[in-house]
């Protein structure tokens, strides 16, 4: 085989997306995977978690079924839920691999390492390419004194890779996305969850104080409250389970532990120095605004992006491939990549929050709309959600959006199509919306900006007679 135009290391969402985009644009592509095709997101992350989340929401909603005229009871069977997610994963992976093949992308199994700026060694094969994309993802990180112990001390990688351990008593560790999601999901799937955190849920995230407050209220209503300031001082694994000793001396015994304590980039064995590629904070590959790590070499997703989400990996892939085809044509814009939490309350955001906007000397104005009286939300028996839009008071430019409530992950994508353009608010204000739908609250939030903050000239600018929407 002649040298490919692009060689990609890693087949997670970033690597897969880069391979597909490059192949669709006529480039010859090779993709290398050392473990399971699809990477963490498909096999032990976003995809199986979403399967469990849907089941968890069904069980959570069941508490209100009687008043809706639905009788009967629902129960959770965690082992069967595990096998269901595996069926979903296998189906998606089969389609994934088939599509790569139909696009003519060469797939290699094995370990890749650099031998030079344009050369890889994959097992015993030497591979040269005009461009190389590093998309090797990340691995779970556990702070001392935690260590992974099969069937006892697990990460999400372990939980999705093998059938669940015996026992219903589970300690979930971490106040970030993984801890906040899995504490809710596992509790609805029939496990007895003790949630140990150092801080309030999502305290280090860019979600607003109102969003975090609403999340805490939804978790509390579901009977899930984190035990704050719960630093683990010692871990003992024995026949009776896992004994955790906290910093204050309290001792508790659970059947197993799920640690959502962070992740670190996967760069071991790549020999990055041979290609002139440098690493920065916490091992992330250093890249510029076009995801370039060195001439002809790109790094995308968790291995390079501190956002460490599948959404960031997908966006990075588009930036890298655009730069390969037309250098400098598309810059990395992490702020416009959606962030989503799937927990007792679904949260999603994009763009800037108030603090970030003020740090840039902007004057943010907020448009708020509640889902409490939205017909679609009420018909589904949901309350407590909201939508907030931020705009710069002086220029009228849309700065950010935040959504709390069922369907937030879908709605944020709709907003993301418009944000980043000068006409975002006016386009949202003049769009036609389905009724009844949660999306109607987008219009209400924009109209609130126009009325409350005197931004009508930005939201409803005059247009020439007969002008239509392009």
Q: What does the alpha-carbon distance between residue 183 and residue 215 come to, in Å, rounded to a whole number?
A: 12
DSSP string, 382-422: --S-EEEEEEETTT--EEEEEEESTTHHHHHHHHHHHTTST
Q: Which SS3 state, helix, strand or coil, does residue 242 take?
A: strand
Whether the CA torsion 447, 449, 450, 451 is positive or negative: it is positive
Backbone angles phi, psi at 22, to 5 degrees: -65, -45
Task: Tell me if 40 sits within 8 A of 313, measured CB to CB.
Answer: no
Instruction: Give the sheet arrangement for strand 232-238, strand by strand.
Output: 232-238, 241-246, 251-254
Strand, helix or coil for residue 179 = helix
Residue entry with tokens 């089941």: 55
How far apart, in whole angstroms, are the C-alpha atoms of residue 209 and residue 211?
5
SS3 state at 196: strand
Q: Determine contact, residues 218/254, Cβ cutoff 8 Å.
A: no
**CA-CA distance, 350 to 399, in Å (whole number)?**
9
Q: Are 6 and 29 in contact (CB under 8 A)?
A: yes
Q: How many C-beta neighbours within 10 Å does residue 98 have?
A: 10
| 236 sits in which H/E element | strand 232-238
Helix (H) or strand (E) holding 254: strand 251-254
Nearest one of 83, 107, 87, 144 to 30, comparing CA atoms? 107
| 436: preceding bond cis by omega (within 30 degrees) | yes
Catalytic residue among 54, 83, 131, 435: 435
How far apart, in whole angstroms, are the C-alpha atoms of residue 365 and residue 375? 27
To which H or E segment does residue 115 belong? strand 112-116
DSSP 3-state percent helix, strand, coil across the chain (nearest 5): 35, 25, 40
Q: Going by DSSP bridges, is the β-strand pair 263-265/192-196 parallel, antiparallel, or unpaired?
A: unpaired
Structure tokens at 64: 């209100």
The DSSP call for residue 67 is G
Catalytic residue check, 435: yes
* Residues 267, 292: Cα–Cα separation, whole Å: 16
Active site residues: 435
């Amino acid at each position: 085989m002649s040298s490919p135009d692009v060689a990609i290391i890693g087949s997670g969402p970033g690597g897969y997306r880069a391979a597909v985009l490059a192949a669709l644009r006529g480039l010859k592509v090779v993709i290398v995977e050392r473990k399971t095709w699809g990477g963490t997101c498909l096999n032990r992350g976003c995809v199986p978690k979403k399967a469990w989340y849907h089941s968890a929401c069904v069980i959570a909603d069941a508490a209100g079924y009687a008043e809706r005229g639905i009788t009967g009871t629902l129960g959770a069977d965690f082992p069967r839920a595990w096998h269901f997610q595996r069926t979903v994963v296998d189906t998606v992976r089969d389609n994934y691999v088939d599509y790569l093949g139909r696009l003519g992308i060469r797939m290699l199994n094995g370990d890749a390492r650099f031998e030079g700026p344009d050369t890889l060694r994959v097992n015993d094969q030497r591979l040269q390419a005009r461009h190389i994309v590093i998309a090797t993802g990340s691995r779970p990180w556990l702070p001392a004194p935690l260590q992974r112990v099969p069937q006892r001390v697990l990460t999400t990688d372990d939980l999705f890779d093998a059938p669940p351990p015996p026992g219903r008593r589970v300690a979930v560790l971490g106040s970030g996305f993984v801890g906040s999601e899995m504490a809710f999901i596992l509790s609805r799937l029939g496990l007895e969850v003790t949630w140990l955190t150092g801080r309030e849920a999502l305290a280090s995230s860019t979600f607003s104080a109102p969003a975090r407050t609403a999340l805490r209220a939804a978790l509390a209503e579901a009977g899930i409250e984190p035990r704050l300031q719960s630093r683990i001082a010692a871990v003992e694994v024995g026949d009776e389970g896992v004994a955790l000793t906290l910093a204050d001396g309290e001792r508790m015994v659970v059947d197993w532990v799920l640690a959502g304590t962070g992740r670190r980039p996967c760069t071991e064995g790549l020999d990055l120095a041979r290609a002139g590629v440098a690493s920065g904070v916490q091992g992330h590959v250093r890249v510029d605004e076009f995801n370039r790590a060195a001439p002809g070499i790109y790094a995308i997703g968790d291995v390079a992006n501190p956002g460490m989400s599948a959404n960031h990996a997908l966006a990075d892939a588009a930036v890298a491939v655009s730069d390969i085809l037309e250098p400098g044509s598309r810059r990395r814009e992490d702020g416009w990549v959606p962030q989503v939490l799937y927990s007792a309350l679904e949260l999603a955001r994009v763009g800037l929050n108030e603090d970030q906007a003020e740090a840039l000397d902007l004057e943010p104005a907020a448009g708020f709309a509640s889902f409490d009286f939205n017909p679609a939300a009420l018909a589904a028996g949901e309350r407590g959600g909201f939508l907030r839009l931020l705009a710069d008071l002086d220029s009228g430019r849309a700065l950010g959006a935040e959504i709390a409530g069922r369907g937030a992950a879908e709605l944020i994508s709709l907003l993301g199509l418009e944000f980043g353009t000068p006409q975002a608010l006016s386009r949202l204000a003049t769009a036609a919306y389905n009724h009844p739908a949660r999306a109607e609250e987008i219009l209400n939030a924009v109209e609130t900006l126009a009325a409350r903050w005197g931004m009508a000239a930005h939201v409803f600018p005059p247009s020439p007679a007969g002008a239509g929407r392009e």
